[in-house]
Chain A
Amino acid sequence: MSQAIARPDVSDIEVEINLWALPTTEDRLVKRMNSTMDEINSFHYAMLPKLPAIIDYLNQFKLADLAGDDLKLSRAALAMCEVDNAVYKWKTPVLSTGIDSLRMVKKSGFSDRVIL
């Protein structure tokens, strides 16, 4: 695999990456909902300066080829999408003017009746 863009050095934010590199959107949602604003901010501001370089680095591979530490890094980067509103708009881990996000249950296809 040719690697035109070098992997950014993330060794100094390894702890945050390990905490937030959860496999699914739903896992990361639950993590955000169960975190304090300090924890969320700490993750967000650790990742933010490196995020453009992380995305550019990961973007040069096919998704299916991401594995190991790169897969972990990709999950932590996606968690940045999950915390974005909390950091900039709500200033609180959970939106107080919406239904509980967990009531919206993920479907697996158009015809899926996941809730009966």
Chain B
Amino acid sequence: MGNANIMAIPPLGSHELGTEAIPSDHYSSQAFFEQEKEHIFKKTWLMAGRESDVAEHGDFITFFIDALETSIIVTRDKNGQVNAFYNACTHRGAHILNEPCGRAKFMTCGFHGWVFDSEGKLADVPGEELFGDFDKSKLGLKKVSVDVWGGFVFINLDPEPSVSLKEYLKPLNESYDKYLGNKDWTWSYGWRSKFNANWKLLVDAQIEGYHVDQTHRNTIAGAIPGANAPADVYPDSIGVPARVCAYRPEQMAGVQTDVALLSAKHGATSLYTKSENEFSADDGEGVLNEDHPLWIFDAYLLFPNVVLFIQKGQILVQRTLPVSPGECFWEVDFFHTGEVEDFGQLFNSEQGRIQIRDVLTEDLYTAEGIQMNFNAGVIKEVYINQQEIPIRAYYHRLMSAMKGTGESK
């Protein structure tokens, strides 16, 4: 390896993260879950969508936090501002929008027809005189805190978040904001699923390299050896507790199939095949570790529920959201630059998509069994090694957030 120390991982017990076993009840306890709703889902910045999905005046997206029975509307208003509101009609409480996205400069409640503009103001009330003395200006949609970073829309149910989104996401600096915010990124594909597992378990599965050799023995083991997946922790960060990186081996082990090699001639959409193409959407100094010839991606844990994979030519967002302690939604979304225009690109995209899908089926395979063992009380604690340090950092951040002290460190 040209640069040996790049594979270094923090020693056990570093950053006051300790070395002790971690209890498992925060994955299964109903009481803990109730506290998570209060201290995490009502207090932290949550990725709710992509800014390009609300590019024009009137564009909207909706975002659900099922555990809180909360639906949010994100809009672009006529001044170009991004706004977020509770999806709750101020007349008698109906959801106003039910589609995941769309365009409506005026949003009309389907129950009695109250109309709100994209700034949330109540614009029209059918039969207004029926209400008698009535002040429409007081009946706008209830606002939710919102901000944009890296082209992603984040919302915060805290009316006055204790830290700005930018501060929250340190150490991801301006360059990340630029690289990820590049207008050329467009959504390419994604999947959504529901699991009988705690929402954090599916995050855990993506933030350590220790599992790779075994979990992925039937797919990519050899393309990313576990030993080439070092990790970093950011104990001073509020929203980014850790990251895991991935490097190719000097010598690819395992099978490089003809299909993979043919695909690589036409693009970079497979994580696991070195592309012969150049990527031209570079923006943001230092985000891509291109100095290192074997670097593939860095995956950042964005507390509480996102793992963001950043690489050349592709960004990948994995999100989970709880329903109950033992039930969650999981989704993954891919962004690429440039249109797929010819068959070579399509072939490349198909190969990348299928390889990643098959790898993800492996990543998702263990969570439900683990959840059962936690629920049954068979496993009461888990053991975290040096290479799994992001799990420990995640746990510590979780606990600080639960004390309500996390936001101000």
Write the residues of chain A forming the contact surface with B, with a CB cutoff of 8 angstroms.
Answer: 25, 48, 51-52, 55, 58-63, 66, 74, 77-78, 80-82, 84-85, 87-90, 95, 97-101, 103-107, 109-115
Expressed in whole angstroms, the minimum distance between the Cβ of B295 and any Cβ of chain A is 25
The size of the chain B interface, using a CB distance under 8 A, is: 51
Write the residues of chain B forming the contact surface with A, with a CB cutoff of 8 angstroms.
Answer: 49-50, 53, 61-64, 100-101, 187, 189-194, 215, 217-219, 255, 257-260, 262-263, 266, 317, 329, 331, 333, 340-344, 346-347, 350-351, 353-355, 357-358, 360-362, 364-365
Expressed in whole angstroms, the minimum distance between the Cβ of A102 and any Cβ of chain B is 10
Q: Is A105 touching B193 in the complex (CB atoms < 8 A)? A: yes
Q: Is A74 touching B343 in the complex (CB atoms < 8 A)? A: yes
CA of A66 to CA of B346 in the docked complex: distance in angstroms?
A: 12
Instruction: Using A51-B258, A82-B354 as known contacts, list a sample of 19 further A-B pairs with CB atoms less than 8 Å apart, ordered by residue number in A.
Output: A48-B258, A61-B342, A63-B346, A81-B351, A84-B260, A85-B219, A85-B358, A89-B219, A98-B361, A101-B357, A104-B361, A105-B191, A105-B192, A109-B101, A111-B62, A112-B190, A113-B64, A113-B100, A115-B329
**Residue among A82, A106, A111 with max Cβ neighbours from chain B (10 Å):** A111
Contact partners of B344 in chain A: CB under 8 A:
55, 58-59
Which of A51, A88, A115 has a CB less than 8 Å from the CB of B193? A115
Interchain residue pairs A-B with the least CB separation, the first 4: A98-B361, A104-B191, A58-B343, A107-B190
**Residue among A82, A101, A103, A104 with max Cβ neighbours from chain B (10 Å):** A104
Contact partners of B343 in chain A: CB under 8 A:
55, 58-59, 61, 63, 66, 74, 77
Q: Is A107 touching B189 in the complex (CB atoms < 8 A)? A: yes
Expressed in whole angstroms, the minimum distance between the Cβ of B9 and any Cβ of chain A is 26
Expressed in whole angstroms, the minimum distance between the Cβ of A90 and any Cβ of chain B is 6
Q: Is B192 touching A115 in the complex (CB atoms < 8 A)? A: yes
Contact partners of A48 in chain B: CB under 8 A:
258
Closest to B340 in A: A63
Contact partners of A59 in chain B: CB under 8 A:
266, 342-344
* Known pairs A109-B100, A111-B62, A113-B64; A25 contacts B353 (CB<8 A): yes
* Known pairs A106-B191, A109-B100; A88 contacts B255 (CB<8 A): yes
Q: Is B346 touching A78 in the complex (CB atoms < 8 A)? A: yes
Contact partners of A90 in chain B: CB under 8 A:
218
Contact partners of B346 in chain A: CB under 8 A:
63, 74, 78
CA of A94 to CA of B365 in the docked complex: distance in angstroms?
A: 14
Q: Is B354 touching A81 in the complex (CB atoms < 8 A)? A: yes
Q: Is B218 touching A89 in the complex (CB atoms < 8 A)? A: yes
Which of A84, A99, A111 has a CB less than 8 Å from the CB of B351? A84
Q: Is B347 touching A77 in the complex (CB atoms < 8 A)? A: yes
Contact partners of A82 in chain B: CB under 8 A:
354
CA of A44 to CA of B323 in the docked complex: distance in angstroms?
A: 42
Contact partners of A60 in chain B: CB under 8 A:
342
A–B pairs, 23, beta carbons within 8 Å: A25-B354, A48-B258, A55-B266, A55-B343, A58-B344, A63-B341, A74-B343, A78-B347, A82-B354, A84-B260, A84-B354, A85-B355, A89-B218, A89-B219, A89-B255, A97-B362, A99-B365, A107-B189, A111-B50, A112-B100, A112-B101, A114-B192, A115-B194
